[in-house]
Structure 1
Amino acid sequence: MSKKINLFSNLKSDFASGLVVFLVALPLCLGIALASGAPLFSGIISGIVGGVIVGYLSQSHLSVSGPAAGLTAIVLSAITDLGSFNIFLLAVLLAGLIQLALGFIKAGSISNYFPNNVIEGMLAGIGVIIILKQIPHAFGYDPDFEGDESFFQPDGQNTFSEIFNIFDHVQLGSIVIAVISLAILILWNKVEFLKKVKLIPPALVAVIVSILLNEFFIQSGSNLAIAKEHLVSLPIPTSLEEFKNIIVTPDFSAISNSKVWIVAITIAVVASIETLLCIEASDRMDAQKRYTNTNVELKAQGIGNILSSLLGGLPMTSVVVRTTANNTAGAKSKMSAIIHGVLLLVSVLAIPSILNKIPLATLAAVLLLVGYKLANPSTIKHFWEKGKYQFIPFIATFGAVVFTDLLKGVALGMIISIIFVLKGNMKRAYHFRKEEYHDGDIIHIDLAQEVSFLNKAAIKTTLSEIPENSKVIINASDTVYIAHDVLDLIKEFKKIRAKDENINVTLVGFKKVYELENSDGFKNTVSFENQYDAMKRKIIPVEINKTDIIE
């Protein structure tokens, strides 16, 4: 039974971190909605629900949910394909129901199989993406939407070409504000008397200073003044009717449309995978090493997506950028995520005109430091020192995340990790003692405790390389489990090839073979010497026909 959490026990640090996440989330919610071809407020609604509802229901202490950059392409094509945002909202609602079901059937447990080196590679890759994507914003060049994490951009550019385009669109005022903001963010935790002012986060100070500085530039007629297109652009409803139009509801009449169900399944699968990856990442970031029940998280995300769709919001996931910003800002509990959602709700209703004065260059400075925390060079050094089997999946994931996107990067890292696992299993299945063979030498092949069908290829290769007129001892004394495929392979080698090529084969531990059947009806083959071990594992031995016994 999980321990009850007092959400107010770390209110000072959680309020400060929630404020930082709110500042980071605001332009990301708007940017992702814009890139998705959805109403701008749909991104804000998703952020509010992700913060308040999912934040409360989730067991994660650091994770922050909201609209995700990884879903923009899916959302954009789905809205176009379905022909209506209302019909798309129905697909989001169904996706939420699917996620809820996935939580109940404990599908979240698959996150336990994500290797640490792949998760760390993903985080380092996202860190580099954040840095590269925020450099143009820091220079006052903002054609790419805030929150984009893909190498190839919707506007036809890519991450690097966007940086080279900066030189034709430099805004000196943005550079000045970005530099001053970075200075505040860095020095705030280094100057002794400022470190004591813990309630006021440096990001808020940087935002206030940047607003005041830009207002001064505007009033003084300076050419450093930042134009409206380089500021946060939250729509401001001017009447009650416009407020009412913000809430859009799903069109339930399209429930029989097969395209709606395809979109729902796609969103549910992609959103769930991204969430599980982020939860694993947030648990690794957690200084207190608390672990999240991922099945509860899937249920929370499902409920969040259902509510978001009913209010006219975008689909959501747990998001790495906001989660990292939360951790970096010193969050202690999930109260920080809830506070960020409440601040989104209050601010868009009460002070939208003030929010629209925030320069994107300031928020770029905040995210640049978040990116550095993720892509710290010491992480690369750490995995390099761990050896190639840890480093190669890490660096492959890292590179693929930077040059493609998050899911493709993780998929590549997982594939490489699985290949290494299979390779390792093949090597561990047996020990082949033969340095340089000379006539009359005995070749020893000692089988491991478990020899599965995955080891068949390696054992087959080894047996095929045994020279004519040699002596071979295959030892299965320590073996608990041998796959039937491998037994057949050894039988065929002994009965056919060994006779044809005058190879003297001695089998140790194969005197009697028992077929064991457990309560699930799963059949294993073990050597006689390990019958006692099998009985201890509550497996019932049944002797098989003598024709099947290797003698």
Structure 2
Amino acid sequence: MSQTSTTGISGNWRSDLPASIVVFFVALPLCLGIALASGAPLFSGLIAGIVGGILVGALSGSQIGVSGPAAGLAAIVLTSIGTLGGFENFLVAVVLGGFIQIGFGVLKAGVIGYYFPSAVIKGMLTGIGLIIILKQIPHFFGWDADPEGDVAFNQVDGENTFTEIMNLGEHISPGATIIAVIALAILLLWSIVLSKKGKIFTLIQGPLVAVAAGIIFYILTKDNEALAISSEHLVQVPVPDSFDSFLGQFTFPNFGAITQPAIWVTAFTIALVASLETLLCVEATDKLDPAKRITPTNRELLAQGAGNVVSGLIGGLPITQVIVRSSANIQSGGRTKFSAIFHGFLLLISVILIPTLLNKIPLSVLAAVLLIVGYKLAKPSTFKAMYAAGPKQFIPFIVTVLGIVFTDLLTGIGIGLAVGIVIILIKSYQNSHFLNIEDKSNGVNRIKMTLAEEVTFFNKASILRELDSLPENTYLELDVRKTRYLDYDVVEILEDFAYKAKERNINIKLISERGTVENPPSYLEFFELAPAASAH
């Protein structure tokens, strides 16, 4: 067993602490941007990030997953706030959705995530990486019309992913672009060179230095007309005037609306989408985990449900485990859940004590951090490896990638899964049997058909086609010695074919583990008795 899985938090804090700082800087603009894209108060995104880090991080069985507000739910939140009559009513649905997720965990529904093919999960990771890169390009150059966290192809500002990049030339901010390039250079220098030069460069990581450089650049150039970075290109954390105004940012659910049917429909929608997105993220992060640990999925649903109950009670957005933050955590060296928990405390402390300082961080610097995260998820070597694995792996992979880029996360995964299922059915259709023509002596065609280990109703068409194409005067050997499951529908096909065979002078020799039978009178009775291939 690897060291990361045995030494625990106390033995890994030197890796977890720097990773938590990176996750904090990644999560901060995403929490605010997802709230903005959802049409919710900005503070609600920070609440969800804090609860997702501290509470869900503590309850979860995942050592490297990070939870918070999810971009995949932004459209649902935006629509629901309007249809339910306000944010307070929507919070009731968040609380109820959390209790429903807890029910899913109790009913052990976490197994659903294991039914998604590996090619689709790898396509999800790669698609998310490409989305991060494409969405951060405008922010890198100082065009921030579209909020962080708007990951759908058709964006909040009326553009789509590619038109926003093509129109970028009209909106470049020189100051934001210069510090973004400097930040990217710092990150690459830290990752490629300095991290190998000494422990100090692993404890103090590149993203922290890049953010510090961004703040210094903003302060030094704020009076320079050519290089000054305007407020819309900076992080915008709500700044309370006093402790009372800080408490006033919390919103509480209106439980008087709990009897509305629309509240319950929204609650089930949140629970289903949040659970599916979480389980897919768990599957993906487990694949990225260097220690190859397996997250208990039912416990994860319980943790996410508890997080959504608390988040909804104090005015936060719905929570899921999030692949962007989780992958940033892994790639920054996070090894245990301490990094996720501490990033939540950093969010809490920062919004209370230093919101003014946070509002001096250029968004373009954080875009540089996310560009590195996106590249590590969507490396060219991944495409090469999946192509080398063959069409059965590459087609669902690339369809998932394109689906995520051109639609949204869950739609893209759904398309990839559908294609994967079709490929499985085609392969099952093709591999149901093996046909061998032995000879044509004395005018008799000797043909041997060997059935596969599992033959289901999906294979009916291919088997029926082969049997119907047999010429007259054929001697057919039907070998079922390797078959462990033979569908009732296929046995019926053999039963029906036996009658046609007599008319066409086709003799059938059935070979099984029990022996050999010439022209058995009843295939149904034979397979009911055969231990090797039972009909169901």
Normalising by structure 1, we get a TM-score of 0.91
Secondary structure of 2:449 counterpart:
strand
Higher alpha-carbon deviation: 229-238 or 210-219: 210-219
C-alpha distance in 1, partners of 2:522/2:336? Answer: 56
C-alpha distance in 1, partners of 2:7/2:274? Answer: 27
Q: 2:95 aligns with which of 93, 96, 101?
A: 93
C-alpha distance in 2, partners of 1:279/1:470? Answer: 55
Count residues in correspondence: 523
Checking the alignment, whether the CA contact within 8 Å between 1:480 and 1:526 is kept in structure 2 is: no
C-alpha distance in 2, partners of 1:148/1:392? Answer: 27
What one-letter code is carried by the residue in structure 2 that aligns with 1:277? L
Secondary structure of 1:445 counterpart:
strand
What one-letter code is carried by the residue in structure 2 that aligns with 1:95? G
Q: 1:242-275: per-residue Cα shift (whole Å, max 9, x none)? A: 2222121111111111100110111111101110
Higher alpha-carbon deviation: 115-124 or 6-15: 6-15
Checking the alignment, whether the CA contact within 8 Å between 1:479 and 1:527 is kept in structure 2 is: no
C-alpha distance in 2, partners of 1:363/1:130? Answer: 12
> Post-superposition shift, 1:475?
2.1
Checking the alignment, whether the CA contact within 8 Å between 1:484 and 1:525 is kept in structure 2 is: no
Counterpart of 1:487 in structure 2 is 491
Higher alpha-carbon deviation: 60-69 or 239-248: 239-248
Q: 1:34-72: per-residue Cα shift (whole Å, max 9, x none)? A: 111111100000000000000011111111000000000
Counterpart of 1:394 in structure 2 is 397
Q: 1:494 to 1:42 in 2, by over 3 A?
A: same
Checking the alignment, whether the CA contact within 8 Å between 1:122 and 1:410 is kept in structure 2 is: yes
> Post-superposition shift, 1:4?
8.4
> Post-superposition shift, 1:9?
2.4
Counterpart of 1:507 in structure 2 is 510
Secondary structure of 2:532 counterpart:
helix
Secondary structure of 1:322 counterpart:
helix
Checking the alignment, whether the CA contact within 8 Å between 2:154 and 2:160 is kept in structure 1 is: yes
Secondary structure of 1:188 counterpart:
helix
Higher alpha-carbon deviation: 298-307 or 475-484: 475-484
Secondary structure of 1:507 counterpart:
strand
Checking the alignment, whether the CA contact within 8 Å between 1:477 and 1:527 is kept in structure 2 is: no
> Post-superposition shift, 1:457?
2.1
Q: 1:285 aligns with which of 281, 285, 288?
A: 288
Q: 2:354 aligns with which of 335, 346, 351?
A: 351
> Post-superposition shift, 1:229?
0.6
> Post-superposition shift, 1:283?
0.5
Counterpart of 1:312 in structure 2 is 315
C-alpha distance in 1, partners of 2:129/2:395? Answer: 18
Matched, 1:203 2:204: no
Matched, 1:236 2:222: no
Matched, 1:385 2:412: no
Secondary structure of 2:236 counterpart:
coil
C-alpha distance in 2, partners of 1:50/1:67? Answer: 8
Q: 1:65-87: per-residue Cα shift (whole Å, max 9, x none)? A: 00000000000000000011111
Matched, 1:41 2:43: yes
Counterpart of 2:333 in structure 1 is 330
C-alpha distance in 2, partners of 1:82/1:437? Answer: 76
Matched, 1:455 2:455: no
Q: 1:198 to 1:458 in 2, by over 3 A?
A: same
Q: 1:134-163: per-residue Cα shift (whole Å, max 9, x none)? A: 000011101111022211112221100000
Counterpart of 1:365 in structure 2 is 368
Checking the alignment, whether the CA contact within 8 Å between 2:127 and 2:402 is kept in structure 1 is: yes
Checking the alignment, whether the CA contact within 8 Å between 2:495 and 2:522 is kept in structure 1 is: no
Matched, 1:441 2:464: no
What one-letter code is carried by the residue in structure 1 that aligns with 2:480? A
Counterpart of 2:301 in structure 1 is 298
Q: 1:275-309: per-residue Cα shift (whole Å, max 9, x none)? A: 01111111111111111001100000000000000
Q: 1:403 aligns with which of 397, 402, 406?
A: 406
C-alpha distance in 2, partners of 1:123/1:449? Answer: 34
Checking the alignment, whether the CA contact within 8 Å between 2:94 and 2:270 is kept in structure 1 is: yes
> Post-superposition shift, 1:389?
0.6
What one-letter code is carried by the residue in structure 1 that aligns with 2:481? S
Q: List structure 1 segments (4+ residues) > 6 angstroms apart after TM superposition.
A: 435-438, 512-516
Counterpart of 2:18 in structure 1 is 16
TM alignment of 1:208-227, pairs within 5 A = 208-219=212-223, 221-227=224-230
Counterpart of 2:131 in structure 1 is 129
Q: 1:456 to 1:251 in 2, by over 3 A?
A: same
> Post-superposition shift, 1:478?
3.2
Checking the alignment, whether the CA contact within 8 Å between 2:73 and 2:274 is kept in structure 1 is: yes
Q: RMSD of aligned C-alpha atoms?
A: 2.3
Q: 1:418 aligns with which of 421, 427, 435?
A: 421
C-alpha distance in 2, partners of 1:422/1:87? Answer: 45
Matched, 1:162 2:157: no
Matched, 1:76 2:78: yes
> Post-superposition shift, 1:515?
8.6
Secondary structure of 1:456 counterpart:
helix
Matched, 1:139 2:149: no
Counterpart of 2:150 in structure 1 is 148
Matched, 1:474 2:478: yes
Q: 1:297-334: per-residue Cα shift (whole Å, max 9, x none)? A: 00000000000001100001000111111111110111
C-alpha distance in 2, partners of 1:27/1:260? Answer: 29
Checking the alignment, whether the CA contact within 8 Å between 2:190 and 2:201 is kept in structure 1 is: no
> Post-superposition shift, 1:218?
1.3
> Post-superposition shift, 1:435?
8.6
What one-letter code is carried by the residue in structure 2 that aligns with 1:484? Y
Q: 1:193-249: per-residue Cα shift (whole Å, max 9, x none)? A: 466422212101101111111211114x24111001100011111134422221211
Q: Percent identity?
A: 50
Checking the alignment, whether the CA contact within 8 Å between 2:438 and 2:447 is kept in structure 1 is: no
> Post-superposition shift, 1:440?
2.2
> Post-superposition shift, 1:485?
1.0
> Post-superposition shift, 1:411?
1.1
Secondary structure of 1:149 counterpart:
coil
Counterpart of 1:246 in structure 2 is 249
Checking the alignment, whether the CA contact within 8 Å between 2:127 and 2:404 is kept in structure 1 is: yes
C-alpha distance in 2, partners of 1:480/1:163? Answer: 56
Secondary structure of 2:167 counterpart:
helix
Q: 1:365 to 1:106 in 2, by over 3 A?
A: same
Higher alpha-carbon deviation: 195-204 or 310-319: 195-204
Higher alpha-carbon deviation: 143-152 or 424-433: 424-433
Checking the alignment, whether the CA contact within 8 Å between 1:513 and 1:526 is kept in structure 2 is: no
Unpaired stretches in structure 2, ≥5 consecutive residues: none
Q: 1:515 to 1:237 in 2, by over 3 A?
A: farther
Secondary structure of 2:477 counterpart:
strand
Checking the alignment, whether the CA contact within 8 Å between 1:476 and 1:527 is kept in structure 2 is: no
Q: 1:63 aligns with which of 43, 62, 65?
A: 65
Higher alpha-carbon deviation: 426-435 or 330-339: 426-435
Checking the alignment, whether the CA contact within 8 Å between 1:24 and 1:322 is kept in structure 2 is: yes
